[in-house]
Structure 1
């Protein structure tokens, strides 16, 4: 049953901290759920069903600037680690490779280049 799956997810992946006013937004909570499903070989439910199931499990949300968030929730566990690692943008670094000197057959590399 979907609600049971969401209940297990909530128990394993989030904790409630009363003094944590910021909490998690829907995107982060659903992303955490997807990571949990992937790690546990579970089939995730659509986001709309997820929102309903979370509400039926007693988790209240607020809206701030049109964004649904769940105050007091904080990620924990392996799924949290997986979500964070996979949601951080990969930085692109420009690698500068110095030109390789072209030598004649009888030339040797300078000592500083070896």
Structure 2
């Protein structure tokens, strides 16, 4: 994934929301990315390479003290890829 591509993905799909308690889990972040790739006719990277790209873009996972789950806190999904991911990931 090139820097412009990850930047475009983040611009299209992520909103900074410090009021959010939950953030985005790593699995949900990857699912959102796969949805974005499908909508934009791009081939998705494997999950480990995607997580590396997020780290290189300056995003860090943190553990939530309440439920001990890792997430990208202060972020929220938005846009068409978010709708696609949510509709296709819930039974």
**TM tier relative to shorter chain:** 0.7 to 0.9
Structure 2, unmatched stretches of 5+, are none
Aligned length: 88
Distance 2:4 2:63 in 1: 26
In the alignment, structure 1 segments of 5+ residues that lack a partner are 90-114
Distance 1:57 1:20 in 2: 21
Instruction: With a CA cutoff of 8 Å and minimum separation of 6, indicate the structure with the bigger relative contact order.
Output: 2
Q: Does 1:18 align with 2:12?
A: no
Higher gyration radius (CA):
1
TM-score, reference length from structure 2: 0.88
Q: Name the TM-score, length of structure 1 as normaliser.
A: 0.71
Moved over 2 A (4+): 1-4
Query: Could you tell me how far 1:56 is from its partner in structure 2?
Result: 1.0
